[in-house]
């Protein structure tokens, strides 16, 4: 009776500092999907990783998942909704890709894997980078930072933002209507997930509103039922997704919104 081959997980879950150190010591190139607990890993990229794993082989190309809140080393990535992929080789950071940009990810994986093969086979110098800290002013809803012009960081050059369709809209059956309006406004939806948010997730998500009087009411409301989490981007050559989303959403202050956009 033939024995079954043990299935090798595509992405290793890094949940402790010990596992992080083990990842850094692995031979070859490791691509780490750094995610937030309230939105989860970037699932749309899994099929690409599977393809690249077959193309690149099991020995020198590895993939991992790491929740930013679980590891101190990822502290500066906490509270950010934009998908972030960190590339490590020889225990050093060699590239960063921000955004769910499959062509750029594929290109970066191929380039970095080839570079690491030359380091291992020919003793070439490994090019190490330092990822600049993200601005503390960047929020989770529509304040992502485009660093596409930074020569030291391999970024997508194409920002993403996270939109949440709130529980009251979901329960009243408005989800499809809202998604249609988002498409009509020229946005591409990279991911769409329905789930009920936890209180801890919402306190983190809305931490920039913690000092406001209605904060507790907002957190309670956002945990009262299922929400839809959408990761949005815009086609190349069009208005930046952050600016476009702010325009579509209007002013954050309800009183200002009523004055400036009374028809909304």
Pair (21, 101) in one structural domain: yes
CA separation for the pair 238, 217 (Å, rounded): 37
Mean pLDDT of 6-35: 88
CATH assignment of the domain containing 217:
3.30.70.141
Same domain for 106 and 21: yes
Which range is least confidently modeled, 6-20, 159-173, 243-257?
A: 243-257
pLDDT value for 1: 45
Question: CA angle 124-84-237, nearest 5°?
Answer: 100
Sign of the CA dihedral with 107 first, then 113, 119, and 125 last:
positive
Residue-wise pLDDT for 205-253, tens only, equals 888 888 888 889 988 988 898 888 888 888 877 777 778 887 887 655 5
* Predicted confidence (pLDDT) at residue 80 exceeds the cutoff of 80: no
> How far is it, in rounded angstroms, from Cα 61 to Cα 8?
13
Cβ partners under 8 Å of residue 202, min gap 6: 38, 218, 219, 222, 223
Res 240: pLDDT: 78
Query: How far is the C-alpha of 50 from the C-alpha of 63, rounded, in Å?
Result: 10
pTM of the full structure: 0.54
Residue where a domain terminates, one of 92, 122, 152: 122
Are 95 and 168 in the same domain?
no
Candidate ranges 33-37, 134-138, 259-263; pick with highest mean pLDDT: 33-37
Percent of the chain with pLDDT over 90: 22
Q: How confident is the model at residue 132 (pLDDT cuts 50, 70, 90)?
A: low
Q: How far apart are CA 134 and CA 55, in angstroms?
A: 33
pLDDT digits (tens, 9 = 90+) for 40-57: 888 888 889 999 988 887
Residue 67's CATH number: 3.40.30.10
Residue 106 domain-assigned? yes
* 181, 116: one domain: no
What element of type H or E holds 264?
A: none
Q: First-to-last CA distance in the chain?
A: 68
Total structural domains within the chain: 2
Judge if 95 and 169 occupy the same domain.
no
* Same domain flag for 116 and 189: no
Q: Could you tell me the two tokens for 162? A: 């996270």
Q: Are residues 91 and 184 in the same domain?
A: no
Residue 223 falls inside a structural domain? yes
- 82 and 174 co-located in one domain: no
Q: Does one domain contain both 115 and 16?
A: yes
Buried b (16+ CB within 10 A) or exposed e, 113-148: bebbeebeeeeeeeeebebeebeeebbbbbbbbbbe
Residues 202 and 118 both lie in one domain: no
What is the residue range of 102's domain?
A: 11-122
Averaged over 30-37, what is the pLDDT?
A: 92
- Residue 92 confidence class, pLDDT cut points 50, 70, 90: very high
Sign of CA dihedral 36, 94, 130, 158: negative
Tell me the CA distances in angstroms from 170 to 38, 176, 245, one per residue in order: 18, 9, 20
191 and 93, same domain (yes or no)? no
Regarding whether 92 and 181 lie in a shared domain, the answer is no
> Where do the DSSP E strands lie in the chain?
11-14, 29-35, 61-67, 84-89, 92-98, 161-165, 188-196, 226-233
- 196 lies in some domain: yes
Per-residue pLDDT at 62 exceeds 90 = yes
* pLDDT above 70 (res 260): no
Does 38 have pLDDT greater than 90? no
Do the domain assignments include residue 6?
no
Residue that finishes a domain, picked among 96, 122, 148 = 122
């Amino acid at each position: 009776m033939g024995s079954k081959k043990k299935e090798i997980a595509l992405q290793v879950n890094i949940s402790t500092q010990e596992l992080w150190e083990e990842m850094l010591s692995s031979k070859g190139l490791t691509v780490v999907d750094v995610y937030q607990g309230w939105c989860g890993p970037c699932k749309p990229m899994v099929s690409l990783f599977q393809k690249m794993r077959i193309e690149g082989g099991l020995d020198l190309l590895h993939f991992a998942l790491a929740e930013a809140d679980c590891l101190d080393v990822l502290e500066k990535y906490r509270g950010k909704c934009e998908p972030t992929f960190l590339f490590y080789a020889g225990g050093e950071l060699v590239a960063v890709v921000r955004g769910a940009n499959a062509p750029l990810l594929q290109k970066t994986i191929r380039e970095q894997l080839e570079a690491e093969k030359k380091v291992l086979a020919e003793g070439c110098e490994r090019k190490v980078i330092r990822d600049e800290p993200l601005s503390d002013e960047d929020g989770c809803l529509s304040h992502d930072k485009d660093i596409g012009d930074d020569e030291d960081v391999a970024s997508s050059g194409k920002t993403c933002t996270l939109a949440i369709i709130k529980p009251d809209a979901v329960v009243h059956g408005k989800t499809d209507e809202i998604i249609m309006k988002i498409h009509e406004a020229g946005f591409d939806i990279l991911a769409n997930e329905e789930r009920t948010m936890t209180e801890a997730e919402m306190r983190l998500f809305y931490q920039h509103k913690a000092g406001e009087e209605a904060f507790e009411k907002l957190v309670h409301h956002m945990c009262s039922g299922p929400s839809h989490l959408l990761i949005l981007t815009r086609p190349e050559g069009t208005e930046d997704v952050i600016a476009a989303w702010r325009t579509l959403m209007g002013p954050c202050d309800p009183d200002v919104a009523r004055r400036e956009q009374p028809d909304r």
